[in-house]
Chain A
Amino acid sequence: MPVTGTGRTSRIIRWIDYRLPFVAMLEHELNEYPTPRNLNYWWNFGSLAGIILVILIVSGVVLAMHYTPNAGMAFDSVERIMRDVNYGWLLRYIHMNGASMFFLIVYIHLFRGLYYGSYKYPRELLWMLGVVILLLMMATAFMGYVLPWGQMSYWGATVITNLFSAIPLVGQKIVTLLWGGFTVGNPTLNRFFSLHYLLPFVIVAVVGLHLVALHSHGSNNPLGIDHRGPQDSIPFHPYYTIKDLFGLMVFLIVFAIFVFYAPNLLGDPQNYIPANPLQTPPDIVPEWYFLPYYAILRSMTFNVLGIPSKLVGVILMFSSILVLFVLPWLDTSRVRSATFRPIYKKIYWLLVIDVLVLGYCGAHPPAGTIVVVGQLGTFYYFFHFLILIPLIGKIERPRPLPTSIGAAVLGPASAAGGN
């Protein structure tokens, strides 16, 4: 062990550690921190999210050395990166596809939490910090997409910032404040660049809090039962370090396929047209990770109780995320993992399908059946969280839980402890 050895390295480490207990902390977190022995591969996505965040920050900082945040030069500076800067095309495609990967990973991570009840006691704050991270990610991604100053950048920014005009009384003033002008323009671009550079570091800080909250009670596990004794846990290192590294390699293969062979598959061709404030594209579509929220936003085609449909749409869209915050209190079940919740297990997949259907609706112009499907999807989304989840917890009869993780994994003989 580095801290207890006798060699020169150990003495140096002890000198540092006495003053700043960094190595001791690492040792505790890696070697001593008890991790459930039965985590499956759906538990890899947390560390993947952290790594892709680092990749995005590093590529972003280097890109920012070549990018010019001025409305007259932004598009050209991005093309210069793609053509003239050494490996510029690689950095740009890594950053662009990295953002998509970040959302994919975080959505899977989130849905893992939904399935296994990771949001339930005592991990409510851990979950809520995660939702905060998701919100910060959405703000960061939205502003980042504006920076290349293509047609979608400009018009997407126009549509989404205009949403705030739905706020009664002060709406238009807020929008003017956001824009720094009378339309999206150079002032808007400059401040979005500044904030896009800042927010990822705020995300890092909240991720730090998220990890502290995690380490207070340790990871959840597929059985959803607390660890009761030493036979339930194994040290994080080397078991989960190597498993996370393997998972990372698999993810990097997927990432590389996008970056090197389909870098524009998830993007919109219209963003390769320079922004034209005098010409709206025939269809304004956000990036794929915003599509379900976009569908919810557009689902409100009628006024409700005198409130204009536009405002209701905005409220619903934000509520779709806010409802996640209160999920720990909406779910009345005393059982965490869907493995032992026969009704919830099936309803869960309805939510997944609902979100995918909403995404599909968001991708298409709001006409004909798409509108109705979007409205049904929006209704079901809130019905699921506000009605079904509380109800199912109460009426469901959960399957019997195993006595311990160790018992489930090793067989009943080990329940007494020891291997």
Chain B
Amino acid sequence: MPRSALALAALLALALAGPARAQEEAPSPPHQQWSFEGVFGTYDEAALQRGFQVYKEVCSACHAVKHLYYRDLTEIGYTDDQVKGFAAQSQVTDGPNDQGEMYQRPGRPSDPFASPFANDQAARAANNGALPPDLSLIVKAREGGPDYVYAILNGFKDAPADVKLNPNMNYNEYFPGHQIGMPPPLTTDGQLTFADGTKATVPQMAHDVVTFLAWASEPNLNERHRMGAKVILFLVIVAGIFYAAKRRIWADLHGHRIAQAGEDD
């Protein structure tokens, strides 16, 4: 049984490893290089901060990230004072006060990121009926992950002659169905000026904001990879020791071994 079973396991892996979920006719997004992919991947802190800047200056006009808190920004290299500053730039609804009214106040680090709209209906009303999705998990919530989000941001082009765009729609090469409600958010190089001086080309901005959004989806990746390396190394060593112990303990039985079908190892 053993060897053929392993071959079957490989077949299983092949059978299920491919994109097991339905894809519409949009092409697969091309693969990008990400600092956080692979076993030793980590988030590039400079990219995270630039990406946050892109989110703040471009995307936050329409997209919320309600699962992020301002205090989370200390994890991407900002100081407590900088974080207080970012928080205070937004107005947050609080209350009711002693008169029973809700009121606005500046944000605090313990607040979640302020949403651009009070609720989904307000968001739709401001966007021709389309709902800009919350971006907290967008990288994990889409087949293709960061490659897909990057492809969308760079995939806007003029509609081909044979495609009739529905009203308020934009043509995007990688969006399923090719018609997306979002107008291209990153249009020109130099659209914003990065604080660290990096040239803000469209691919650069897209790359950095996707890095930021990947972190927003999975803030614990760095720790997870680090812990994983330690755990697996430990387990490999212990497995080796246990195997040696097993061979030792079984040695007196194996001394009489004659290879036969079904015999143990």
Contact = CB atoms under 8 A, between A and B. Distances in A.
Interface stretch (B89-97, B165-173, B204-212, B230-238): B230-238
Interface stretch (A19-27, A269-277, A379-387): A269-277
B24 A282 contact: yes
B128 interface: no
Given A249-B242, A250-B239, A402-B260, A359 B253 contact: no
B239 A256 contact: no
Contacts of A242: 242, 245-246, 249
B137 A38 contact: no
A224 B21 CA distance: 41
Contacts of A260: 224-225, 227-229, 231-232
B: interface residue count bin: 35 or more
A238 interface: yes
Interface in B135-183: 136-137, 140-143, 145, 176
Given A79-B136, A261-B228, A282-B24, A252 B235 contact: yes
A368 to B, nearest CB: 12
Given A272-B137, A402-B260, A249 B238 contact: yes
A411 to B, nearest CB: 5
B258 A365 contact: no
B142 A409 contact: no
A246 interface: yes
A402 B261 CA distance: 10
A246 B239 contact: yes
Contacts of A259: 228
B204 to A, nearest CB: 26
A82 B263 contact: no
Contact of A257 (B141, B227, B232, B263): B232
Given A222-B262, A349-B8, A246 B246 contact: yes
Interface stretch (B10-18, B98-106, B187-195): B10-18
Interface stretch (A39-47, A49-57, A63-71, A296-304): A39-47
Contacts of B246: 242-243, 245-246
Contact of A414 (B22, B217, B256): B256
B257 interface: yes
Contact of A269 (B2, B140, B238, B260): B140
B220 interface: yes
A200 B3 CA distance: 34
10 contacts: A83-B72, A222-B262, A222-B264, A252-B235, A263-B224, A269-B21, A270-B21, A272-B140, A285-B20, A363-B21
Contact of A363 (B20, B245, B265): B20
A270 B253 contact: no
A283 B21 CA distance: 7
Interface in A200-255: 221-224, 234, 238-239, 242-243, 245-246, 249-250, 252-253
Contacts of B250: 239, 243
8 closest Cβ pairs, A-B complex: A260-B228, A222-B262, A249-B239, A272-B141, A283-B22, A363-B20, A246-B242, A272-B137
Interface residues of A, number: 66
A364 B22 contact: yes
B198 to A, nearest CB: 28
B225 A409 contact: no
A333 to B, nearest CB: 16
Nearest to A246: B242
Contact of B224 (A79, A89, A269, A414): A89
Interface in B1-58: 1-2, 4-5, 8, 11-12, 15-16, 20-22, 24, 39
Nearest to B140: A272
Nearest to B66: A76
B67 interface: yes
Contacts of A269: 21, 140-143, 145
Given A239-B249, A252-B235, A260-B228, A365 B22 contact: yes
B219 interface: yes
Contact of A83 (B2, B67, B228): B67
B141 A256 contact: no
Given A37-B253, A79-B136, A269-B140, A285 B264 contact: no
A273 B194 CA distance: 31
A66 B256 CA distance: 56
Contact of B11 (A40, A239, A356): A356
A337 interface: yes
Contacts of A263: 224
B239 A253 contact: yes
A266 to B, nearest CB: 8
Contacts of B219: 83
Nearest to B68: A83
Nearest to B256: A410
A83 B108 CA distance: 18
A3 interface: no
A256 B231 contact: yes
A360 interface: yes
A90 B176 CA distance: 33
B2 A40 contact: yes
Contacts of A411: 256, 258
